[in-house]
Amino acid sequence: MPNARHEMILKLIQDHEIGTQEHLRELLEQNGFQVTQATISRDIRQLKLRKRRAASGQCCYMTAPTPPIAPSNL
């Protein structure tokens, strides 16, 4: 992982249903990271986060699903 902020973002989206960049910014701030909306937007793009509907029905940021690995014929 390139930096501690990215690690914290991934932890936060696992622990919370985060539907907006502002909510993510507030949670990052509570954890000692002072960031701007532009930085959060860039981090979301770099981490390939997507908004998906959670079990609660709220759209929130989640990691992109990993495609299955096809078995090799080795």
d(CA 17, CA 3): 22
pLDDT band at 1 (very low <50, low <70, confident <90, very high): very low
* CATH number for the domain that contains residue 45: 1.10.10.10
Q: What is the pLDDT of residues 20-31, one digit of tens each?
A: 999 999 999 999
pLDDT band at 64 (very low <50, low <70, confident <90, very high): confident
Q: Is 19 a domain residue?
A: yes
pLDDT of 74 reads 56
User: What number of other Cβ atoms are within 10 A of residue 28's Cβ?
Assistant: 19
Q: Is 26 a domain residue?
A: yes
Host domain of residue 50:
4-63
Q: Is 71 a domain residue?
A: no
Q: Work out the mean pLDDT of the chain and round it to a whole number.
A: 90
Q: Is 72 a domain residue?
A: no
Q: Is 14 a domain residue?
A: yes
For the chain, the domain total comes to 1
pLDDT band at 67 (very low <50, low <70, confident <90, very high): low
